[in-house]
Amino acid sequence: MHIAVTGNIGAGKTTLTTMLAKHYGWQAQFEDVDHNPYLEDFYADMSKWSFALQIYFLGSRFRQVKEIRESGKNIIQDRTIYEDAYIFAENLNDMKLLSDRDYKNYLSLFSLMTSFVSAPDLLIYLKSDVPNLVKKIYKRGRDYEASISIDYLSKLNQKYESWIKGYKEGKLLIIEVDELDFVERPEDFGLILERIETELHGLF
């Protein structure tokens, strides 16, 4: 079983991934943020480091998905390979922070990689509005995220909505998280569990 948690920066992906893995006794696969050699440079100068960052994430995510399928284990994954292309790289290209030449090169590699992997059994999309994202980003206090603009988050949110609307690779569960606190309120986490188990009835 492969469940992936997706959503904008600050939506709560890593927290929910951790909680689900603990609850079900499954293995968690996290986005490589702490050891990413490009992330701080990217937020300081997006146009200079956008291609290197996106290639790094793409390779890291491909490795993850390959390992997930080969392991045969039950996995909860924080973010997917699809977001790299349909959200972040596309948005950087729209904002002229990733050149058309680099973007075309990136998409060619993405297309090749995704031909070798399959989609998660369930995609959980954490839907959040920008003020809530800003609040969560500020609360966790990562230095390199301090420069993220509201405009950037808004554009990412638009990309997420567009991608999710056309998502046909597998089962999809949309959870609106603005009014939820699945860390402090056990009933909110219980509600999420109930919805997941309804979606995957008979597969657990």
9: left (phi over 0), alpha (psi -120 to 50) or beta: beta
Catalytic annotation present for 188: no
130 vs 135: CA distance, rounded Å: 9
The catalytic residue among 32, 34, 41, 78 is 78
29, 150 contact by CB (below 8 A): no
Pick the closest to residue 52 from 32, 37, 34 (CA basis): 37
Q: Dihedrals φ, ψ of 3, to 5°?
A: -110, 135
C-alpha closest to that of 191 among 179, 203, 202: 179
Over its C-alpha atoms, the chain yields an Rg (Å, rounded) of: 17
Q: Residue 38: is it exposed, middle or buried by C-beta count within 10 angstroms (0-12/13-18/19+)? A: middle
Residue tagged 């951790």 (tokens):
18
Do 13 and 86 contact (CB within 8 A), yes or no? no
Q: Which residues are marked as active site?
A: 78
